[in-house]
Amino acid sequence: MTEQRTRIARQFIEAIPHARALGMQLDAVGDGVAELSMAYDERFIGDPSTGVIHGGAVFALMDTCCGAAVMNHATGAAGTATLDLRIDYMRPATPGQRIRTRAECYHVTRTVAFVRATATDDDDARPVATASAAFTVERAT
């Protein structure tokens, strides 16, 4: 991780109150790529009978990771916001396991960035969720 990219991603994540509340952690960052994770926490359980983390917590992790990928794209966005985010939940995250998300900003126009992301737990071969998103691209003036 380059120092500047890491700084940009950390500032982006730390500016979002729910990212801090959920304990999101920056794991890696590159040109248009970000990897974030979130530890299993009983406060975020959606179904007490199974111990499965609520889909809203997974959604927040994926949304934040996608935004961090946009902020670190070579086109140099000065800011971003979610326009559209579609998540396909494929299976519940395994209780007790850390949830990891990797997002890639694969195309940027003058005003919109397009991102894909995958969330996994310890079983990398079976995603918890996948996402397809569009984000605003704010340019420095």
pLDDT-flagged residues of the chain (< 70): 1, 141
Domains and CATH numbers, the chain: 3-136 (3.10.129.10)
* pLDDT attached to residue 36: 97
* pLDDT attached to residue 80: 92
* pLDDT attached to residue 12: 82
* pLDDT attached to residue 31: 92
Round to the nearest angstrom and report the end-to-end CA distance of the chain: 27
Cα–Cα distance, 124 to 102 (Å, whole number):
11
* pLDDT attached to residue 46: 92
Taking the whole predicted model, whether its pTM rises above 0.75 is answered as yes
Of 132, 85, 73, 136, the residue nearest 110 (C-alpha): 136
* pLDDT attached to residue 39: 97
- In the numeric block, the tokens 């209780």 are attached to 95
> DSSP assignment of 41-100, as one string?
-GGGEEETTTTEEPHHHHHHHHHHHHHHHHHTSTT--SB--EEEEEEEE-SPPPTTSPEE
